[in-house]
Amino acid sequence: MNRRGFLAAACACGAGFLPLAASAQETWKAPPRFVRPDIASDEGGLWALMDREERNLRRSPFALRDAKLKRYVQDIACRLAGEHCPDVRVHLVRTPYFNASMAPNGMMQVWSGLMLRAENEAQLAAVLGHEIGHYLSRHSVERLRDVKARAGFAQFLGLFGLVGAVGQMGLVAGMYAYGRDHERDADRIGALLMHRAGYDVGQAARVWENLRLELIARDEGIENYSPLFATHPHASERQETLEALAAELPGGTTGESAWREHVRPFLREWLQEEIKRGQHEESLALLGRKILIAPEEPLYPFARAEVYRLRAKEGDLEAALADYQEAVRLGGEPPETHRGLGFIYRIRKDAARAQAFFQRYLERAPDAPDAAMIRSYLKELNV
């Protein structure tokens, strides 16, 4: 759809909204804060269910409980939500998939795979603003009414990331259950919320383009593979409309420095989880982009070396060796860098170098979980 057609096709939102205008510059009015519905109603029952799941999430081993990071992301959500801020409760979830979701009772999940992929604060705000757009438009309530008494109810609950939660649902599992018109509304409202909060709206298009490039790295039909791209507006349409909205809503900041400061303590853990995810092509696309953005960060070439080594296609060991060496050159590399170099030289039958790197690994990480295995390799290399 072209820009003019998209802007003309904006849908009416939930109660309390003015119709979305033909220009993003015109006033859009958010609804007043929501009142808790009667427990006997469909919506009240859904709120009660979400309250129970939120209690479970607070106790979950997947919950990321770092107070400083949580306050930081909560503040971003509040800047976007405006007067609805008191009703938005952010929960950070440790799982390597790209996802954020918001339930009708105000429970918001933000997954670590999304935070790993965001390049700056504005990109996270683009995704959170999109989810808040769904919340303010009461799209989940519309979906509840649509699927009530159907077999699709479990799928509807899945749009909040609750079924098998966290870690098991796969890529963007919490974001695909809405229809394309709802997604268009949420994109548009999210862009307006970003602009009002002082963010660069142009970063919204970059988020989805970066994710698209990861998915097509698998060399599969993107709409067939990803639920997000199967039911969201077509990737090219979404790119066009988000860029058009950014042109109408210029200015704003990216918050890159603050973002790097807050996520840096978690990069190593998040990258390890990304490596374990086993989606090598997607991870290589992600890490190649990260290396271009932050060439001074040793964790990115280390992580890419691990992915190359584990994929082990033709030429991958050479690529892994180069990345491990680059991580060492940058300094501050994790101890596992030397373990990886030891593995490569062991495969190459270079016993002296393999021993040296394995010993360096054990010196730097003597209590590593695999220390006994590495010691057995050293004995083997001494024979």
pLDDT profile of the chain (383 residues), mean per 10: 31 34 62 93 84 90 96 98 97 93 92 97 97 89 61 56 42 50 90 97 94 82 50 70 93 97 98 96 97 97 98 97 98 98 97 97 97 96 78
What distance in Å separates the CA atoms of residue 134 and residue 129, rounded to the nearest whole number?
9
pTM over 0.95: no
pLDDT recorded at residue 172: 35
Nearest to 199 by CA among 103, 22, 77: 77
Length of the chain: 383
Task: Give the residues across from 227 on adjacent strands.
Answer: none
What distance in Å separates the CA atoms of residue 59 and residue 63, rounded to the nearest whole number?
7
Given strand 107-111, what is the order of strands in its sheet?
Answer: 89-93, 107-111, 100-102
pLDDT recorded at residue 21: 37
What distance in Å separates the CA atoms of residue 197 and residue 233, rounded to the nearest whole number?
25
Cα dihedral 369, 371, 373, 379, rounded to 10, equals -170
pLDDT recorded at residue 183: 87
pLDDT recorded at residue 319: 98
What distance in Å separates the CA atoms of residue 65 and residue 92, rounded to the nearest whole number?
7
Query: CA separation (Å) from 335 to 358, 360, 365?
Result: 10, 8, 6
Q: What DSSP character marks residue 83?
A: G
Residue type, 223: E
Question: What are the structural domains, with CATH classification, of the chain?
Answer: 3-248 (no CATH), 265-382 (1.25.40.10)
